[in-house]
Chain A
């Protein structure tokens, strides 16, 4: 209910808002316009009033000048005629008569006075002057040849007149002054009726003696304009003229303009009360104000009309939007008008169509979402259960790992103990190895000594053998010697025969062979000695033979005993060798044993290290499995959350579906 009233108030506020916005603007604009216009028109109207006044006074001045010049020209023509005609006095009267009545401005016509006191006038003229030379017009006239107006004066008839006077320059000896009077009444009429401005007045002043020549107030005519006048306007005008200030000015609440009448010393003064000008301005201001008010009213009506026309389709759209806000998208919006509102309508229609599509797809999607969220709820529930059992499993695992860790620690301790024992064993076997090594060295020494002995025995045997051999060689050599000696005996016999042959031959050769016979005899002799010596050697060698035979027998006997010794020694060496080999073997066994002990030691050490590492790992595994337990617990709580969320989601999608179902599409 409250929503509805708020909506209605909003609808109403569009036009009132527009009015509230625009009306002050319009009022301000109109006010500014009125103010500016009235101030401009005020100054413009003041200026216009001044211009009008100046134009009026200038026009009046022109009129007065024209009137006076017209008269002057007329009088001047007559004067010129008289001057050029060399007229006699009798003729003069005829001329004056002929012009009398021709100029209505000058009822008395033209008159002429002479320095002899004579006066000539038209015969019908009522002009008379008993004292020509003492008269004002005569005195004025003798100051110029060109006709001109003098100051105003009262003539014999009691009229205020100005006289146009001048000397007649006819070349004659006597002095003739021509004059013609213009009554000021006529000028007053011109001045008073010549004002071209409503409510303006004018008066004429002769600046020679400040006589007022014409004035709307007849009582003031021919009085003096004075600065001490009771009338502030007259006093102000007198002051202005005295100071030569002839600009248009404000004097005593009047706008006053001045104009010189050329050809005279007269000043025409025209004035208009400021109140008259201000009244016009006030009227103008009032008119402008009324126009302003009317403009505001018209504007308000215009705005209201425009707002109604503009807001009317808006109201329809507003209804539609209201329906839309209540979820009804089955509406159709009027978009027939061709302005922005029409555009808005068509856009709203487009919007409704797209909303319709959107909502239906949202509805479909929310259905799907709901199913999916139900599924996910179920999945999360089973996940929760799974995670719970996982957590429990993890706890059991944790306990198992705990036990495992304890076991591994025990193993590690045992392994360490074993390693210690092995290390002791290794020390003992090292000591055994050392004693064994000493034994080996000692037995090796013995064997070496035995080998040296054996070696010495074999050296002896060899030497014996060499001895036998050498003896045998001596036997062989002595046999060869026997052979050689036999050969020598044979050679010696042959040589002896040869020497007998040679001595027989030499004896046959006679004398020449004598020397040779001697040599042959000698050779024979030598051959006989050689045969004897060879026989001796052969005897000796036989004896050596016999001796060698004895030596060989003995050497062979010693060789036999040596051989027996050698054989015994060889047996001892073999025995030693066997001992050494046995010791060596047992030594190698000990080394192998030590190596094995070493290996065992290494293994035991490794086992100890490994089992320590294993223990640490087991601890880590324990910690990890504890984390895992925690994590499993977390997973459980998270899956609890997931389950909760998916439950919520299911609820939300339910809500969404229900909302979407609210839209009419």
Chain B
């Protein structure tokens, strides 16, 4: 009986506590939503910091972010900073006082993420396009919206293996992007891993970075040609380099229908090239999907929610992944 009473008391206390907390948090959330509606929109106010839109993908991404903001009825201000890290820091630091509830940031340098997180105060940051280290991401606070950079290399290798009937060995060229860039590392690693896993002994006749550039890719292809080695397949970390490589193949009169050239991004030029029967494959990075996911995550986190409600979020609450899609001659029309 006294035990029961004690239990009842504890139960009552817990209940009361829960009610109080519920009431308080209820009020809290109401207050914050009231404040954001006061600032002019239901989903908060988002600051979108972009380095530049010179790259095709970044242009597509930034346009999609702006239009996603419009279509979701949220106030979204975009600022271009170039590679000026200090300007990015200043923008992030003043965002709170300007009434922003969340920041979508394409960091000029992903390694500056800790500085950005500190500057943001308690505003959530949604990193896009340039992925910070996992150590610098925090669940439902500082997150990365993008695509799993391991996927495109895997899709490339799988496509090639399927296309060539699971060969036992291959002479392989890989043109990487910027040296040390996470996408470069992962896209390259996934190609190697996938080939190895499928029992294909890859002979890397040329494995170098070409800084996402078609001219550099072409230049390095020419140097490769000097080495007098033969090649069966060329994996490029992006479409631009792949198109440069196609130029190289044409230059040397090599048969690009036999030597498979794979890119990533499914840019318009790459799709045209695939449609024309030049490039063999590209992995579509869904810029629009990423933009929409980034805006949705910004709205959710700006309201104090959790990205677990956003499609493609990982269980650790640090990532929202928008899947790559494999594009070849059979389905390229969809992406043009």
Chain A 248-288 interface 0/1 with B at a Cβ cutoff of 8 Å (1 = within)? 00000000000000110100000000000000000000000
| A190 contacts B by Cβ under 8 Å | no
Report the nearest A residue to B219, measured CB to CB.
A169
Query: In the docked arrangement, what's the CA distance between A354 and B206, Å?
Result: 111
Report the nearest A residue to B192, measured CB to CB.
A265
Report the nearest B residue to A174, measured CB to CB.
B226
| Majority-rule SS of A interface residues | loop
Q: Provide the residues of chain B in CB contact with A263, threshold 8 Å.
A: 180
Residue of A143, A169, A173, A262 near B206 (CB, 8 A) is: A143
Query: In the docked arrangement, what's the CA distance between A169 and B216, Å?
Result: 12
Residue in B179, B185, B204, B208 whose Cβ sees the most chain A Cβ within 10 Å: B208
Known contacts A145-B220, A262-B180: A175-B226 contact under CB 8 Å: yes
Query: In the docked arrangement, what's the CA distance between A167 and B206, Å?
Result: 11
Report the nearest A residue to B216, measured CB to CB.
A145
| A244 contacts B by Cβ under 8 Å | yes
Q: Is B223 touching A143 in the complex (CB atoms < 8 A)?
A: no
| A411 contacts B by Cβ under 8 Å | no
Residue in B180, B204, B227 whose Cβ sees the most chain A Cβ within 10 Å: B227
| A334 contacts B by Cβ under 8 Å | no
Query: In the docked arrangement, what's the CA distance between A146 and B209, Å?
Result: 7
Report the nearest B residue to A166, measured CB to CB.
B208
Report the nearest B residue to A144, measured CB to CB.
B208
| A78 contacts B by Cβ under 8 Å | no
| A314 contacts B by Cβ under 8 Å | no
Chain B 215-234 interface 0/1 with A at a Cβ cutoff of 8 Å (1 = within)? 00001100100111100000
| A142 contacts B by Cβ under 8 Å | yes
Q: Provide the residues of chain A in CB contact with B206, threshold 8 Å.
A: 142-144
Q: Is A167 touching B179 in the complex (CB atoms < 8 A)?
A: no
| B64 contacts A by Cβ under 8 Å | no
| B193 contacts A by Cβ under 8 Å | yes
Q: Is B179 touching A169 in the complex (CB atoms < 8 A)?
A: no
Give, as a whole number of angstroms, the nearest-CB distance from B316 to chain A. 13
Chain A 147-178 interface residues, beta-carbon cutoff 8 Å to B: 148, 167, 169, 173, 175
Query: In the docked arrangement, what's the CA distance between A169 and B208, Å?
Result: 13
Q: Provide the residues of chain A in CB contact with B179, threshold 8 Å.
A: 146
Q: Is B223 touching A145 in the complex (CB atoms < 8 A)?
A: yes
Give, as a whole number of angstroms, the nearest-CB distance from A79 to chain B. 13
| B205 contacts A by Cβ under 8 Å | yes
Give, as a whole number of angstroms, the nearest-CB distance from B336 to chain A. 34
| B66 contacts A by Cβ under 8 Å | no
Known contacts A143-B207, A146-B209: A262-B185 contact under CB 8 Å: yes
Residue in A115, A167, A173 whose Cβ sees the most chain B Cβ within 10 Å: A167
Residue count of chain A within 8 Å CB distance of chain B: 15
Q: Provide the residues of chain A in CB contact with B228, threshold 8 Å.
A: 115
Residue in A115, A142, A175, A265 whose Cβ sees the most chain B Cβ within 10 Å: A142
Q: Provide the residues of chain B in CB contact with A145, threshold 8 Å.
A: 208, 220, 223
Query: In the docked arrangement, what's the CA distance between A221 and B180, Å?
Result: 29
Give, as a whole number of angstroms, the nearest-CB distance from A167 to chain B. 6
Q: Is B229 touching A142 in the complex (CB atoms < 8 A)?
A: yes
Q: Provide the residues of chain B in CB contact with A144, threshold 8 Å.
A: 206-208
Q: Provide the residues of chain A in CB contact with B227, threshold 8 Å.
A: 115, 142-143, 167, 175
Give, as a whole number of angstroms, the nearest-CB distance from B89 to chain A. 26
Chain B 172-231 interface residues, beta-carbon cutoff 8 Å to A: 179-180, 185, 192-193, 204-209, 219-220, 223, 226-229
Known contacts A262-B180, A262-B185: A146-B193 contact under CB 8 Å: no
Q: Provide the residues of chain B in CB contact with A262, threshold 8 Å.
A: 180, 185
Query: In the docked arrangement, what's the CA distance between A203 and B165, Å?
Result: 38
Give, as a whole number of angstroms, the nearest-CB distance from A633 to chain B. 60
Query: In the docked arrangement, what's the CA distance between A143 and B204, Å?
Result: 7
Chain A 280-313 interface residues, beta-carbon cutoff 8 Å to B: none
Query: In the docked arrangement, what's the CA distance between A570 and B229, Å?
Result: 212
Q: Is A169 touching B185 in the complex (CB atoms < 8 A)?
A: no
Q: Is A167 touching B223 in the complex (CB atoms < 8 A)?
A: yes
Give, as a whole number of angstroms, the nearest-CB distance from A224 to chain B. 16
Q: Provide the residues of chain A in CB contact with B207, threshold 8 Å.
A: 143-144, 148
Chain A 190-230 interface 0/1 with B at a Cβ cutoff of 8 Å (1 = within)? 00000000000000000000000000000000000000000
Known contacts A262-B180, A262-B185: A146-B208 contact under CB 8 Å: yes
Q: Provide the residues of chain B in CB contact with A169, threshold 8 Å.
A: 219, 223
Chain B 145-186 interface 0/1 with A at a Cβ cutoff of 8 Å (1 = within)? 000000000000000000000000000000000011000010
Query: In the docked arrangement, what's the CA distance between A500 and B175, Å?
Result: 230
Query: In the docked arrangement, what's the CA distance between A265 and B207, Å?
Result: 13
Give, as a whole number of angstroms, the nearest-CB distance from B22 to chain A. 31
Query: In the docked arrangement, what's the CA distance between A173 and B227, Å?
Result: 11
Report the nearest B residue to A177, measured CB to CB.
B227
Q: Provide the residues of chain A in CB contact with B180, threshold 8 Å.
A: 262-263
Q: Is B193 touching A244 in the complex (CB atoms < 8 A)?
A: yes
Q: Provide the residues of chain A in CB contact with B219, threshold 8 Å.
A: 169
Query: In the docked arrangement, what's the CA distance between A453 and B204, Å?
Result: 201
Query: In the docked arrangement, what's the CA distance between A576 and B254, Å?
Result: 204
Query: In the docked arrangement, what's the CA distance between A650 and B2, Å?
Result: 53
Q: Provide the residues of chain B in CB contact with A143, threshold 8 Å.
A: 204-208, 227
Residue in A145, A169, A173 whose Cβ sees the most chain B Cβ within 10 Å: A145
Give, as a whole number of angstroms, the nearest-CB distance from B179 to chain A. 7
Query: In the docked arrangement, what's the CA distance between A115 and B228, Å?
Result: 10
Query: In the docked arrangement, what's the CA distance between A175 and B223, Å?
Result: 8
Give, as a whole number of angstroms, the nearest-CB distance from B249 to chain A. 18
Q: Provide the residues of chain A in CB contact with B205, threshold 8 Å.
A: 142-143
A-B CB contact pairs (8 Å), 25 listed: A115-B226, A115-B227, A142-B205, A142-B206, A142-B229, A143-B204, A143-B208, A143-B227, A144-B206, A144-B207, A145-B220, A145-B223, A146-B179, A146-B208, A146-B209, A148-B207, A167-B223, A167-B226, A167-B227, A169-B219, A173-B226, A175-B227, A244-B193, A262-B180, A265-B192
Known: A142-B227, A144-B207, A175-B227. 6 other contacts (CB 8 A): A115-B227, A143-B206, A145-B208, A175-B226, A262-B185, A263-B180
Q: Which B positions have Cβ atoms within 8 angstroms of A?
A: 179-180, 185, 192-193, 204-209, 219-220, 223, 226-229
Top 7 A-B residue pairs of the complex, sorted by shortest distance between their CB atoms = A142-B227, A144-B208, A175-B226, A143-B206, A145-B208, A143-B207, A146-B208
